[in-house]
Structure 1
């Protein structure tokens, strides 16, 4: 498997553990609808949280969360719309970003950005 995919999976595992330790229930991992994908879908306090996980080994070109651009936000919103419809969820939703930044010694900093954005398509 490609190194960047291994790194991404490692970051998603750390993000999932972080959410579970913070009291979130994980509803789905790598949920797909067509070509759309949501890394983690969690639930807490009657809110469904759609979470994008970004993992990097350096921040020379920006922080991991900087790579969740408007295009990615729109795609996440489209996937969220479908998920909400399928689950018949009538409550609140939220979009979070979890960034995981590794250094050369395999240490990492995990940053959970709650309510990171609100897509204009919803």
Structure 2
């Protein structure tokens, strides 16, 4: 497996542990619909949280969260709509980004951005 895939999987594991440690219940991991994959789907305080995890080993090209562009947001919103429909969820939803930046093998920073974006008309 390519090293960037290993880094991504490691980031997702750290993001999951972070969410669980802060009181979130993990509902699903790597949930797919059409061409979209939602990294983590969590639940807390009657809100379903769709979390995109971005992991990088450096920020020379920007912060990890900068890589969740409009195209990616559209895919996430469409997949989230399907998940909400299948689960018959009637409550609130939220889209978060969990950005993980590794400074070294054992030194990293987690930036959990709640309400990172909201599906505006251009995302639907």
| Fold match (TM-score > 0.5) | yes
Instruction: Tell me which residue corresponds to 1:7.
Output: 7
Instruction: Tell me which residue corresponds to 2:114.
Output: 114
1:22 aligns with 2:22: yes
1:101 aligns with 2:101: yes
Instruction: Tell me which residue corresponds to 2:59.
Output: 59
* Root mean square deviation, CA, Å: 1.0
SS at 2:61's partner residue? coil
Instruction: Tell me which residue corresponds to 1:89.
Output: 89
- What is the total number of aligned residue pairs between the two structures? 122
SS at 2:104's partner residue? coil
Separation of aligned partners in 2, 1:46 and 1:112: 19
1:105 deviates by: 4.4
Separation of aligned partners in 1, 2:59 and 2:34: 31
Separation of aligned partners in 1, 2:56 and 2:75: 21
1:32 deviates by: 0.5
SS at 1:73's partner residue? helix
Unaligned ranges ≥5, structure 2? none
Unaligned ranges ≥5, structure 1? none
What TM-score comes out, normalization by structure 2 length?
0.95
Runs of 4+ displaced beyond 3 Å: none
1:106 deviates by: 3.3
1:117 deviates by: 0.4
SS at 2:16's partner residue? helix
1:36 deviates by: 1.1
What TM-score comes out, normalization by structure 1 length?
0.97
